[in-house]
């Protein structure tokens, strides 16, 4: 935040009255108004600001006329915090009917005053001037004052940030993003932007969205061919005949030893005839539909001259930077074309993926634990009001859970030990059978964290058959140096591994997984040239939000959810 003087209000009168007694941190940067947070979130609730003339802007949460229509109470919120500022407007200042409807945006100037004794507000704003109004037709506004379900709000993703829940989630999400960059920058990591469009499948599962222009190109071609059909065989034959005629003329002129100007003119006409024939022959090859070669789609005609996809992870690419710059991380959107309608899956989601050179599995676990603890403590220190809202409305244990994770050492057990513990469980029947070799399900993970250990658990050394090709093969030849961080409420929050740095071993693993070597040739170069031991992990950002807030559905913790059948806006 800048330490300069408070930005001067736009009119001369305000310049002498609005600045008095207000610090620069109270003002919205690049906007001539005071943040509601800087008033109502003070330790005194804003009492110490009574007598100050200020400007505020925001959206009316609730409004009602009082005193037989002589004035109106408005609950105003500008998104800077969960709390509202009570605003009082007299009918002499503005017609009240345009101000009281939920969703109305107002920008006002007024005097902060202490309310009468016995009211819950510590301070209120008595409006003296309406600067601007964004009205709402209450008969058409789709978000009524009644309590709305989160599922209902998904039909109005452009308006749902105006609700208390989604605005609180947005602030918590922002805080976690800020905390993420703070943690990694503080520990010397370099932020790397990895590509969204890729030619390699990091997980090898094949559930990727394809990026192609072939369909749009085919549609354009079909439209063009309707307007300008390909030449007929007779047109091509006529063009060939013309080329022959022009060629004969050139030959005759040369035989007759005609002057240079005449020969050059004839050669130019021959060249034009040949070019015209070439264009006709090229157009005659055009056919509607996708281009094919040997009975398959010819991707050499595609935009990137090969198959390309939306990334499922930036890990492979960020490894290249870790093998040159040591500690790096990427933080961006990833995509999975999985037809899942569960409360834990999205087609587009965000991942935080650090990669550490000269680091083994233990180093990796230490980093993951420190990062998760840092995120939890950051919310307790910087987002407590929004977390209190979550406790009140969604999960009474949310804050206690953050405190526990932030302050408790994580349990660490091998996959084999975890399976043995789960096999000996007698007080619960799992829906998914427990046996060595399975991929632990959410019910298994949560049982370990919520019942057995009652704290976060890091499970490591998983069977190689259920993990990706890039994870380092252990000496037992059955497990890989993988680790998952499991937390209460969610289960798996972080997944990572020590990477396989040995060229021969990783080449064999790729082939074992049934993957082609060619797309990973560049990745193998990292093992061919200056190979280095390195490790990394991925944290599902939306899963962290589910864990922190206690909200049940992942579609409600991302601004614009994408899932099968839905890609609004």
From 285, 301, 317, give the residue that closes a domain: 301
What is the pLDDT averaged over residues 294-304? Answer: 92
Question: What per-residue confidence (pLDDT) applies to 440?
Answer: 95
Q: Is 129 helix (H, G, I), strand (E, B) or coil?
A: strand
Does residue 5 lie in a domain region? no
- The tokens for 547 are 């864990």
Residue 18, pLDDT score: 57
Q: Decide if 512 is inside a domain.
A: yes
Residue 466 is assigned to a structural domain of this protein = yes
Instruction: Tell which of 274, 301, 328 closes a domain.
Output: 301
**Mean pLDDT value of segment 44-61:** 95
The predicted structure's pLDDT at residue 26:
77
Same domain, 439 and 313: yes
- Compute the average pLDDT of residues 376-398: 97
The answer to whether residues 344 and 322 belong to one domain is yes
Check whether residue 278 and residue 339 sit in a common domain: no
Say if CB 487 and CB 402 are below 8 A apart: no
Q: What is the structure's pLDDT at 537? A: 98
| Residue 542 confidence (pLDDT) above 50 | yes
- Confidence check: pLDDT of 17 > 70: no
Top-confidence range, 137-146, 220-229, 460-469, 512-521: 460-469
What's residue 204's pLDDT?
A: 56
Any domain includes 160: no
For the cut 70, the answer to whether the pLDDT of residue 8 exceeds it is no
The answer to whether residue 567 is domain-embedded is: no
Say how many domains are in the chain: 3
Is residue 12 over pLDDT 50?
A: no
Q: Give the CATH number for residue 124.
A: 2.40.50.140
* Average pLDDT value over all residues in the chain: 92
Q: Which residue has the tokens 């800048």?
A: 2
Q: Summarize the confidence of residues 362-367 as an average pLDDT.
A: 98
Distance CA(494)–CA(460), nearest Å, equals 12
Flag whether 6 is in a domain. no
Over pLDDT 90: what percentage of the chain?
Answer: 80
* Domain membership flag for residue 110: yes
Residue 315, domain CATH: 3.30.930.10
Strand partners, 334: 349
pLDDT of residue 270: 93
Longest CA span, the chain: 117
Question: Against a cut of 0.85, is the pTM above it?
Answer: yes
537 within some domain: yes
Same structural domain, 438 and 480: yes
Q: What value does the mean pLDDT take over residues 507-526?
A: 92
The set of residues, in sequence order, having a beta carbon less than 8 Å from that of 559 and lying 6+ positions away, is 157, 161, 170, 173
> Span 424-440, mean pLDDT?
94
Residues spanned by the domain of 241: 214-301
Band of residue 207 on the pLDDT scale cut at 50, 70, 90: confident
Q: What is the pLDDT of residue 205?
A: 56
Query: 160-194 pLDDT, tens per residue?
Result: 999 999 999 999 999 999 999 999 999 999 999 99
Same domain for 473 and 386, yes or no, is yes
41 and 169, same domain (yes or no): no
82-106 confidence digits (pLDDT tens): 999 999 999 999 999 999 999 999 9
Shared domain check, 441 and 421: yes
Supply the pLDDT for residue 128: 97
Phi, psi of 111 (to 5 degrees): -110, 130
Radius of gyration of the chain (CA): 33
Does residue 248 sit in the same domain as residue 105?
Answer: no
Q: Assess whether 113 and 17 both reside in one domain.
A: yes
pLDDT-derived band at 20 (thresholds 50, 70, 90) equals low
Contact 163, 126 (CB under 8 A): no
231 & 325 share domain: no
- 272 and 290: one domain? yes
Q: What residue spans of 161-285 are helical by DSSP H?
A: 164-186, 214-227, 233-255, 260-284
Phi–psi pair at 63, nearest 5 degrees: -150, 145
pLDDT per residue as tens digits for the range 124-170: 999 999 999 999 999 999 997 778 999 999 999 999 999 999 999 99
Residue 6: pLDDT band with limits 50, 70, 90: very low
Kindly tell me the sign of the dihedral angle through the C-alpha atoms of 176, 559, 401, 385.
positive
Say if residue 515 is in the same domain as residue 437: yes
Question: Would you call 152 helix, strand, or coil by DSSP?
Answer: helix
């Amino acid at each position: 935040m800048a330490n300069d003087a408070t930005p001067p209000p736009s009119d001369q009168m305000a310049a002498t009255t609005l600045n008095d007694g207000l610090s620069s941190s109270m003002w919205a940067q690049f906007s001539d108004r005071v943040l509601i947070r800087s008033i109502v979130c003070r330790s005194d609730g804003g009492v110490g600001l009574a007598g100050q003339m200020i400007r505020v802007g925001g959206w009316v949460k609730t409004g009602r006329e009082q005193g037989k229509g002589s004035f109106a109470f408005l609950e105003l919120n500008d998104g800077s915090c969960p709390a509202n500022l009570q605003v009082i407007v007299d009918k002499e200042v503005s017609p009240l009917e345009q101000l009281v409807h939920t969703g109305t945006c107002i920008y006002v100037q007024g005097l902060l005053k202490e309310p009468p004794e016995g009211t819950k507000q510590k301070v209120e704003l008595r409006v003296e001037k309406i600067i601007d109004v964004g009205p709402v037709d209450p008969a058409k506004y789709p978000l009524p004052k009644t309590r709305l379900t989160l599922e209902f709000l998904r039909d109005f993703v452009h308006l749902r940030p105006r609700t208390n829940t989604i605005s609180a989630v947005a602030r918590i999400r922002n805080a976690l993003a800020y905390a993420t960059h703070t943690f990694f920058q503080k520990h010397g990591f370099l932020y790397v932007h990895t590509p969204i469009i890729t030619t390699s499948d990091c997980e090898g599962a094949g559930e990727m969205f394809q990026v192609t222009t072939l369909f749009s190109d085919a549609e354009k071609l079909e439209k063009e061919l309707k307007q300008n059909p390909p030449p007929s065989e007779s047109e091509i034959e006529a063009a060939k005949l013309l080329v022959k005629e022009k060629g004969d003329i050139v030959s005759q002129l040369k035989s007759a030893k005609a002057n240079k100007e005449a020969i050059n003119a004839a050669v130019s006409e021959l060249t034009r005839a040949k070019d015209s024939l070439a264009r006709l022959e090229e157009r005659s090859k055009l056919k509607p539909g996708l281009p094919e070669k040997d009975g398959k789609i010819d991707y050499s005609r595609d935009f990137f001259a090969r198959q390309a996809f939306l990334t499922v992870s930036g890990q492979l690419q960020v490894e290249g930077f870790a093998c040159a710059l040591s500690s790096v991380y990427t933080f961006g959107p990833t995509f999975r074309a999985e037809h899942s309608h569960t409360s834990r899956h999205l087609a587009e989601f965000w991942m935080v993926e650090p990669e550490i050179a000269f680091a083994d599995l233990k180093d990796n676990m230490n980093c993951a634990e420190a990062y998760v603890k840092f995120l939890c403590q950051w919310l307790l220190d910087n987002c407590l009001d929004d977390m209190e809202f979550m406790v009140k409305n969604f999960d009474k244990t949310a804050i206690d859970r953050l405190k526990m994770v932030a302050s408790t050492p994580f349990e660490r057990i091998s996959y084999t030990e975890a399976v043995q513990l789960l096999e000996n469980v007698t007080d619960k029947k799992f829906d998914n059978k427990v046996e060595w070799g399975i991929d632990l399900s959410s019910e298994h993970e949560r049982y370990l964290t919520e019942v057995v250990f009652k704290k976060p658990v890091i499970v490591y050394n998983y069977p190689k058959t259920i993990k990706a090709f890039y994870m380092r093969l252990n000496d037992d030849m059955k497990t890989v140096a993988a680790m998952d961080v499991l937390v209460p409420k969610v289960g798996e929050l972080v997944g990572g591994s020590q990477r396989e740095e040995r060229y021969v071993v990783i080449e064999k693993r790729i082939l074992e997984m049934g993957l082609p070597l060619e797309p990973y040739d560049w990745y193998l170069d990292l093992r061919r040239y200056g190979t280095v031991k390195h490790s990394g992990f991925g944290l599902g950002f939306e899963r962290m939000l589910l864990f922190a807030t206690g909200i049940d559905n992942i579609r409600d913790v991302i601004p614009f959810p994408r899932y099968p059948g839905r890609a609004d806006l």
